[in-house]
Amino acid sequence: MIKKILFFSVIAVFMFSGFLSCNQNRAPRKGVILEKRELVLTIGASEKLEYILTPEAEGQTLVWVSSDPNIVRVSEDGVVTAVNFSTGGSMAYASIFGTGQANVTVSTENGKFKDTIKIAATTQGQVNILSLPPIKDQFSSYFIMGNIYNPADASPAEIVTEHLIYHYSMLTPENNMKPSYLAPDPNSYNFQTADRMVNAALASGLKVHGHTLLWHSQNSAWIKRVPDRYNKDQALVVMKKYITDVVTHFKGRIYSWDVLNEVFPDGVSSRGDWRQVMRKENPWYAAIGADFVYEGFLAARLADPNVILYYNDYNTDQAPKAAMIRDMVRDVNERYRREYPNANRLLIEGIGMQEHHNTGVTASSIRATINLFRPLGVKISVAELDVLGQSWSTFRDIGAGIDKHGTSTVTNEGLMDQARLYGEYMKLYMENADIIERVSLWGVTDDKSWRSGGLPLLFDSQGRAKPAYYSFVGALDN
């Protein structure tokens, strides 16, 4: 008689629908006795089912069969994978956290034993973030894995938010290194909070990416008044002093800097001159003109010759904006080569592709941009990755802001589309790992995202892995 005791252990990566597959090399969760013949799995998640047999049954082959492989797939050795939550019904797709049911039967080849396990496949997260293998370890052979952090995540001695240390190896301050935080007045700086954050990250063994020196937004009042108070030459002196002071202060502690952020508006033409189509609301462009780009990067390079210098922007999947970025980086680096012929590095060494996406952004459009940037010889970073579980037009009604997850209009279908895209994006990034230095997510759990109403991250508000997580790491097996 076979003892009806069922053990299972998680293997952390699976494939979602036709594109996710289980991988038994993942670090398993600690075994748990399943007293009932029921199991709940998030879409994309897998469990290995193992029976302990009495001596007379040993040597018998176990046969595993799923009653509906479109909902739950089972392998020859008893690994069940949640594939989908429903076989049809528009209402199921329009709701949130739907569940599909399938029965998995296990029997001996000689037919003397048979048992049934009920499997529920759901879009709702089930596994806690700290019960999964570290993301940074899973992708260590491809690129640096990063995320953002805030003052509450850092004590004077270390990073205190456990999942940041556990899953990521580089952190970007979400706000506290922006000009409005560092320079409230033209001749005084407020480095206290940023210093604490940077030192805590380094003490915890993490790299820090500085964000950002020059931007059209989140500037102190004195920076906004620069075009009105100074002529071009004076403004250039002021800008270079600011960059020099900040970069010198953090010299040796920052791995890379966003020197310039979002200089191009939406709607630029690919046939335009990058020098003429920058945001007019950028105070440095308004005061100095297009030369501020070269001079700003040069000031940062002279202040810290070892730090990696990035240009950072969003909507880089849109061809006209990507073309303007390409032209600017090319021209600035060519000027640097002419003026510093003995330099052994580029001036703009990297382009940060923010990757704040929605379900309408295809992997093919991102591929086209990577191919456009590749001839520049620069590094690329996926700098601020999140993916709305819905279209931009649908999300727009809710708008940006944290803690809007409770009023989200994301559906089951949206969560599945989101997961599919995360997998497609990650596969593309891995194919270009020779030039992609870093993949940084812009947040950890949905509720604390700046776009929380679109449920854009890998983990839900309770810190549980969503279908998006399993698709994200599932790219490793595709």
Q: Which of 80, 107, 122 is the last residue of a domain?
A: 122
Q: Which of 304, 313, 417, 424 is catalytic?
A: 313
Asked, for residue 147, whether it belongs to a domain, the answer is: yes
By residue range, what is the domain housing residue 139? 129-477
For residues 388 and 426, membership in a common domain is answered with: yes
Q: What is the Cα–Cα distance from 260 to 301, expressed in whole angstroms?
A: 13
Q: Which of 349, 384, 386, 424 is catalytic?
A: 384
Asked, for residue 287, whether it belongs to a domain, the answer is: yes
**Does the structure show a pLDDT above 50 at 32?**
no
Asked, for residue 134, whether it belongs to a domain, the answer is: yes
Q: Could you tell me which of 236, 247, 240 has the C-alpha nearest to residue 182?
A: 247
- Active-site residue flag, 262: yes
Say how many domains are in the chain: 2
Q: What is the Cα–Cα distance from 181 to 177, expressed in whole angstroms?
A: 6
Whole-number pLDDT of residue 6: 33
For residues 115 and 190, membership in a common domain is answered with: no
For residues 116 and 199, membership in a common domain is answered with: no
For residues 87 and 177, membership in a common domain is answered with: no
- Active-site residue flag, 384: yes
Q: What is the Cα–Cα distance from 122 to 18, expressed in whole angstroms?
A: 16
CATH of the domain at 20: 2.60.40.1080
For residues 305 and 365, membership in a common domain is answered with: yes
Q: Could you tell me which of 454, 475, 459 has the C-alpha nearest to residue 467?
A: 459
For residues 318 and 412, membership in a common domain is answered with: yes
For residues 455 and 324, membership in a common domain is answered with: yes
pLDDT grade, residue 234 (50/70/90)? very high
Decide which of 2 and 299 is more confident. Answer: 299
**Does the structure show a pLDDT above 60 at 188?**
yes
For residues 333 and 191, membership in a common domain is answered with: yes
CATH of the domain at 237: 3.20.20.80
For residues 52 and 173, membership in a common domain is answered with: no
- Segment 348-361 shows an average pLDDT of 98
For residues 108 and 178, membership in a common domain is answered with: no
Taking only the tens place, the pLDDT of each residue in 453-468 is 999 999 999 999 999 9
Q: Which of 122, 152, 186 is the last residue of a domain?
A: 122
Q: Which of 94, 122, 150 is the last residue of a domain?
A: 122
Would you say 381 and 440 are in contact if contact means Cβ atoms under 8 Å apart? yes
- Active-site residue flag, 431: no
Q: What is the Cα–Cα distance from 211 to 309, expressed in whole angstroms?
A: 11
Q: Which of 47, 153, 258, 262 is catalytic?
A: 262
Asked, for residue 1, whether it belongs to a domain, the answer is: no
For residues 108 and 147, membership in a common domain is answered with: no
DSSP letter for each residue of 282-319:
-HHHHHH-THHHHHHHHHHHHH-TTSEEEEEES-TTSH
Please state the pTM of the whole predicted model: 0.90
Taking only the tens place, the pLDDT of each residue in 189-219 is 999 999 999 999 999 999 999 999 999 999 9
